[in-house]
Amino acid sequence: MKILFLGDVVGISGRSMVLNNLLSKIKDEKIDFVVVNGENAADSGVGLTEEICKDFFNCGVDVITTGNHVWDQKKQCLILKKKIDFLDLKIYLNHLQEKALEYLLLKMK
């Protein structure tokens, strides 16, 4: 299984690189699973929005990890909590590993 992890996608320029190139990279490199750190993907370079999450998932991202900046877009906090499943690296490592393993096993079925 090939896993691609893209760390810290920052702002519009980082997002554009992912959105414009990821699908072809997945196909060319036969990548099975893609993880993106999206906590700084908002236009300002901090935070994450629902729209950005949807864009990432639509271009081939399987999991979006986050950190302390994920909640910097205050308007989006409640929407993100209710509608988007993502992993927060600040959660206990064991919990993160269990969830990632569950998702990988589901993906492989």
Cβ atoms of 47 and 69 within 8 Å: the answer is: yes
Beta strand residue intervals within the chain, DSSP E: 3-6, 33-37, 63-66, 87-88
Catalytic residue flag (residue 69):
yes
Active-site annotation holder among 37, 49, 69, 70? 69
Give catalytic residue positions. 69
